[in-house]
A and B are shown apart, each in its own frame.
Chain A
């Protein structure tokens, strides 16, 4: 495709010119270094034009290559050289000078071989540039341009053949490169844009990991993880696969054109990564992205089952996060999770209401307990347990719990005995009078069917009706009001925090003069006098303010 080549060539020159101009204008003001660089520039240009003129000057390639390889010493010159080389090689590729022909003369064959080995050198030089922060992104662009040209022209056939080895080298170098920017650029400009690049990236990642097995360092794992997790939008059907960087093969059946092949590659890459073992942080990230961007890539999500169930059984926040993945499997794949509800019940520990994943958990919990066919005994256990937790919960959690209770009470009328239980017989009443009442709820029982919560009462919520925050107290009062409302929309009550509550309070302007305490504070920090009417305030009695 001469047009494309010409195009990229023009682009490259344009870019070069731009940088050169910039350099010139900058350096003119600066130092004598300018001269040197200018010299190099002109030399390269001269050498390049000579190569274009005749085959005799092919040796110039080696000269430029030397310049390019010395990128550590003279980055600018190296960049100019590699750009020039890129143009040269693209032109040569387009001209077919690098294709081995059977009918070619021996001399030609040697030239071709020589050129090929120079190309190989050039590639290596480019990949080496990935290590330097300055040149990396330019090197990436050049490498990808070269990749494209190679795919189209390096072989005899009319169809483009993806140069996998070169590409996997690129991917490997990117993964190992200390420059984060390259990775970002690569994923932004190529992986997200072109489906075939993504496909081969998956492949390259899998190969990379399999090759090295457990020698993969922690950092590289992170990078791989970042790269994989950035590939989000899973195409819906084969027809969506249409963005190709390199002309795709015409065959309909080619794996590049089939979604399931894409998914398979992605799945393999993920599995390869997971086999390496994930750190806790990574696990959390994986779990967070699970239902959104990982599971859809899997042709066989069942493969995730072990991972998810392991995570779910770990406990703590990992369990919470695994919940949505497990739910995805249950919902989509008919995963049969035995003792699901007792596991869910065990998740309701002391930390759950203080966790930052609280609202996420509540959304799921609302889904899980949404069925009206669940046994009331179990629902009561959940209610009672959460009520207990609410005794030590922040206001934002209480605000979410109580309306949810209301909805459950509406859905499971049997549980309303927890709010209203009248002793029926005289003996019962007498017993209450004489011995009081022990809460029949068994907080340590693991099985939600056996906690006897249904026989208990929600004293906890009644206690919260005298919560210090007026809005929380008002919300807690809904369980003693008449149940006239159909249901509360849970979304209104999730996602609160101390900050948002305070902000809401502060957002109100003080328009009306606030009530001022009418009792005069006679003693604040000092101790009370000897008079018998005065007593120390709590603060003074417990705190030393230095008064005699």
Chain B
């Protein structure tokens, strides 16, 4: 547009119709009338003027320095302002800020140090015209009114604005929009946008500030009709209600439809039934008995349901398993055995494949942890084992799932070892006496046929049963119910501790005990009573104690009975593994605490029983490992003083080797003990030994002297009892010595056979060879029986030499570390698909979050500082203004006073001059 600013202004004013050519009086009047009718006309005028003003103020907008940008596609909503490149309206924003300050800070400033305390807002308090009664009446009325208003929230009569008038779908029917625009300048659409719409930041700050100052007015409220307007709660509820009503209606309609359809079908049913059952019904009844069919139908349905249930419950409905042929049974059995053997091997290698084993390993690891923790280095010690743990877990992953392992009880029932407890025997009650033997035989036969290799079992049981013990002097009827021909009662209480057992078995000879135990097991079979399981569990524990008890008082002919008791424990252990294990462990603990180096025969028998009850080849076993440790402790730490000690040690050494027969694990203590025993028994102390085991000087009288004519015998348990060997004739002690010597050397031979594949076999067994040489040397031979010497020279020494040579030949240098080299740890590089340089890609979430918070804090701080600065400036300005005002007022007053005084002075001067003049005149006159 050409022309000067003024011209342009005039032109635009003219365009808006604010100024125009001169109007006639008539026209003016008409216009005025119109205006009165439409008051918005003036407003329109104001609006137009404002826009013109805006248009002509170059500082009204903040724009891009280089004009509007080119059009690009962005996510941001495009509006005209951004299109024009307008970034803000500093003037408006400033004015708004100023205004807000005036409303808040200025008010505060003015009230500062001036007002305070309470404002008495009671009605009529300041009104001197009202009497007290009037005031009271007025107040009461007001209060009543207020209460009334509150109670009448939903009073339709009450035309309250709070209800928002009539609405539809949450919107007022007569919206402000429909009305002619009634806004003030501040609400102009384009006005707040400078701060508001151009970024959420400014908006937020604005809101914050608003909240802070708690300004009375909320002019920034956004206009209705914008798409992202937030709905009020009221609106939301309305919508929900409407929706649910709609759904309800729809459901109703659907149901109605269904009902109709059903009714239709019901009508057609009789026909259909007739068709189905092909039954000719007299049409008369069919027509008349619609009610009857309904009843019949119900009865039929009921009947049908019952039938179905009966059929489902019938056992014969289950598909029966085919009877297996003998080969199949045998094959299954062998498969089962093979599987068990495999499992044993895996346990032996300490692998954790099954769930149970894993748990076991876990326990073990825990145990190690505990062990170390005891030393006060929990974490570090566990770390020690870490490599193995993790590797094991990697190798035999935890995720292999739960394999089914037959439970002990299940195995127990079809097991040939389960001692002849069949249900008939248990159930028959009064027939017990007559049938028991036969029953036992039967079940024995059954059991025997199961494996085909256990025929001796019934033999031994029978033998015990038929053996008569009527001569028993302490025999006594313990129960009135009746005994068999052996004097063993048929019923027993189930012993729950050892004393009870002693009482129960009082009068029963030890060799008969298995029968009693068997009867107890039958009487308290877990199937008979729910409590029996617990009872038998206790019983099995007591049985373990009893074996130790009997062992301590053993007699030679008891051993078959003890064996059978041990076997009972084994078969009970299948049903009650935890109880039996606990009993064994308790016994081992007792040994450890009371007599770690003085084991009794009972202890020896218990340790033997452990070896037969539990698999000794396992890498770790809750019972076998402690038992093995107890044995090794005796072998390793006991310094034998008497021959009984040597005998006990020899028994334990045999036991230790028997434990390791399968897994072939090395027991250093065994070697130490055997070699030491040989050194101690040798007629002369060996001069030089190649070994690294500590040699204990034997007590006096241990060395074999002059036993040339002694015959060789085997060791017995009686040799382990200290009293038997202390005061015995020299011949007996010599035979015992020779027996120990002989047993130990045989044991060494077996040990060599067991361990000859171990990598350090030569180092382990060379000392043994040295001792054998020493024993066969000229210094020893005169004292030893010639048969022993010949076994040494003819079988033992050559055997050992051969094994040593073999080990020497097969020995290779160690190559333990053919490990795959450890890879350097690598990381997969991370790529961001839609990389935005402005964005922060911090992989650390917390740090990212922190950075975000920090940035916000910084922003807020800057904003707050800016605002504070502005506030300060405002206050300064205000103060200055006030001061100026005050100064001006003072100046004015001063001037007025001066002027007044001057006026008075002038007046006085004039008067004086006048007076003077007058006097002069008077004088002149007088003269």
Interface residues of A (CB under 8 A from B): 350-351, 354, 388-395, 398, 403, 416, 418-423, 432, 435-439, 443, 457-460, 462-464, 466-471, 473-474, 477-482, 484-485, 488-489, 491-492, 495-496, 498-508, 510-518, 520-526, 529, 531, 533, 537-539, 542-547
Task: Select B388's contact among A391, A437, A474, beta carbons within 8 Å.
Answer: A474
Among A464, A499, A515: residue with most chain B CB under 10 A:
A515
Task: Select A517's contact among B456, B570, B758, beta carbons within 8 Å.
Answer: B570
Instruction: Report how many A-B pairs have Cβ atoms within 8 Å.
Output: 317
Which residues in A have their C-beta under 8 angstroms from that of B629? 395, 469, 498, 501-502, 505
A520 vs B615: C-alpha distance when bound (angstroms): 11
Question: Contacting chain A: which of B58-66, B433-441, B556-564?
Answer: B556-564
Contact between A506 and B693 (Cβ–Cβ < 8 Å)?
A: no
Known: A350-B695, A420-B816, A459-B814. A526 touches B563 (CB 8 A): yes
Known: A436-B810, A524-B608. A545 touches B665 (CB 8 A): no
B335 → A minimal CB distance (Å) = 13
Known: A350-B692, A542-B714, A547-B559. A537 touches B411 (CB 8 A): no
B416 on interface, CB distance cutoff 8 Å: yes
B809 on interface, CB distance cutoff 8 Å: yes
A-B contact pairs, 30 of them (CB 8 A): A391-B692, A391-B763, A394-B636, A435-B809, A438-B808, A443-B692, A459-B811, A460-B760, A462-B816, A469-B628, A481-B391, A484-B822, A492-B384, A500-B374, A504-B367, A506-B626, A510-B622, A514-B581, A518-B337, A518-B340, A521-B613, A522-B454, A525-B560, A538-B658, A542-B715, A543-B717, A544-B715, A544-B716, A545-B556, A545-B559
B20 on interface, CB distance cutoff 8 Å: no
Known: A481-B388, A524-B608, A546-B559. A392 touches B585 (CB 8 A): no
Which residues in A have their C-beta under 8 angstroms from that of B350? 470, 473-474
Among B371, B636, B713, B758: residue with most chain A CB under 10 A:
B371
Q: Which of B607-650 contact A (CB under 8 A)?
A: 608-609, 612-616, 618-623, 625-626, 628-630, 632-633, 636-637
Task: Select B621's contact among A350, A502, A511, A514, beta carbons within 8 Å.
Answer: A514
B112 → A minimal CB distance (Å) = 67
Task: Select A505's contact among B626, B762, B818, B819, beta carbons within 8 Å.
Answer: B626
A537 vs B654: C-alpha distance when bound (angstroms): 10
A537 vs B375: C-alpha distance when bound (angstroms): 41
B644 → A minimal CB distance (Å) = 15
Known: A443-B690, A470-B350, A542-B743. A505 touches B717 (CB 8 A): no
A480 vs B454: C-alpha distance when bound (angstroms): 45
Contact between A500 and B763 (Cβ–Cβ < 8 Å)?
A: no
A507 vs B366: C-alpha distance when bound (angstroms): 11
Contact between B380 and A489 (Cβ–Cβ < 8 Å)?
A: yes
Q: Which of B746-786 contact A (CB under 8 A)?
A: 746-747, 750, 758-764
B67 on interface, CB distance cutoff 8 Å: no
B667 on interface, CB distance cutoff 8 Å: yes
Contact between B371 and A468 (Cβ–Cβ < 8 Å)?
A: no
A398 vs B636: C-alpha distance when bound (angstroms): 13
Which residues in B have their C-beta under 8 angstroms from that of A470? 350, 364, 619-620, 625
Which residues in B have their C-beta under 8 angstroms from that of A436? 808-811
B21 → A minimal CB distance (Å) = 102
B347 on interface, CB distance cutoff 8 Å: yes
Per-residue interface assignment for chain B, residues 348 to 373, with 1 indicating a CB less than 8 Å from any chain A CB and 0 otherwise: 00100000100110011011101110
Chain B contact patch, size range: 35 or more
B573 on interface, CB distance cutoff 8 Å: yes
B381 → A minimal CB distance (Å) = 5
B216 → A minimal CB distance (Å) = 72
Which residues in A have their C-beta under 8 angstroms from that of B658? 537-539
10 extra interchain contacts, Cβ-Cβ under 8 A, other than A350-B691, A462-B760, A516-B408?
Answer: A467-B666, A473-B350, A473-B665, A481-B388, A492-B380, A504-B370, A506-B626, A508-B363, A516-B574, A546-B559
Contact between A547 and B560 (Cβ–Cβ < 8 Å)?
A: yes
Pick the 4 closest A-B CB pairs, nearest first.
A546-B556, A544-B714, A436-B809, A513-B577
Per-residue interface assignment for chain B, residues 532 to 564, with 1 indicating a CB less than 8 Å from any chain A CB and 0 otherwise: 000000000000000000000000110110110
Which residues in B have their C-beta under 8 angstroms from that of A443? 690, 692
A479 vs B232: C-alpha distance when bound (angstroms): 74
Known: A392-B672, A392-B692, A546-B716. A514 touches B651 (CB 8 A): no
Q: DSSP majority for the B interface?
A: helix
Among A392, A505, A511, A518: residue with most chain B CB under 10 A:
A505
B196 on interface, CB distance cutoff 8 Å: no
Q: Which single residue of chain B is at the shortest CB-CB distance from A547?
A: B559
Task: Select A498's contact among B372, B616, B637, B663, beta carbons within 8 Å.
Answer: B637
A363 → B minimal CB distance (Å) = 14
Task: Select A543's contact among B366, B557, B654, beta carbons within 8 Å.
Answer: B654
Known: A513-B578, A516-B573, A529-B456. A480 touches B816 (CB 8 A): yes
Q: Which single residue of chain B is at the shortest CB-CB distance from A533?
A: B453
B815 on interface, CB distance cutoff 8 Å: yes
B466 → A minimal CB distance (Å) = 17
Contact between A350 and B384 (Cβ–Cβ < 8 Å)?
A: no
Contact between A463 and B764 (Cβ–Cβ < 8 Å)?
A: yes
Known: A437-B812, A512-B363. A391 touches B668 (CB 8 A): yes
Which residues in B have their C-beta under 8 angstroms from that of A507? 367, 370
A520 vs B660: C-alpha distance when bound (angstroms): 18
Which residues in B have their C-beta under 8 angstroms from that of A392? 668, 671-672, 691-694
B387 on interface, CB distance cutoff 8 Å: yes
Which residues in A have their C-beta under 8 angstroms from that of B381? 492
A525 vs B385: C-alpha distance when bound (angstroms): 41
Which residues in B have their C-beta under 8 angstroms from that of A422? 813, 815
Task: Select B371's contact among A438, A463, A504, A513, beta carbons within 8 Å.
Answer: A504
Contact between A513 and B387 (Cβ–Cβ < 8 Å)?
A: no
Among A462, A468, A504, A529: residue with most chain B CB under 10 A:
A468
Task: Select B813's contact among A423, A489, A492, A544, beta carbons within 8 Å.
Answer: A423
A21 vs B425: C-alpha distance when bound (angstroms): 83
A272 vs B407: C-alpha distance when bound (angstroms): 76
A502 vs B608: C-alpha distance when bound (angstroms): 18
B406 → A minimal CB distance (Å) = 10
A22 vs B623: C-alpha distance when bound (angstroms): 61
A525 vs B659: C-alpha distance when bound (angstroms): 15
Contact between B387 and A538 (Cβ–Cβ < 8 Å)?
A: no
B462 on interface, CB distance cutoff 8 Å: no
B242 → A minimal CB distance (Å) = 61
Question: Contacting chain A: which of B9-17, B164-172, B509-517, B588-596?
Answer: B588-596
Which residues in B have their C-beta under 8 angstroms from that of A506? 585, 588-589, 592, 626
Among B337, B563, B651: residue with most chain A CB under 10 A:
B563
Q: Which single residue of chain A is at the shortest CB-CB distance from B460?
A: A526
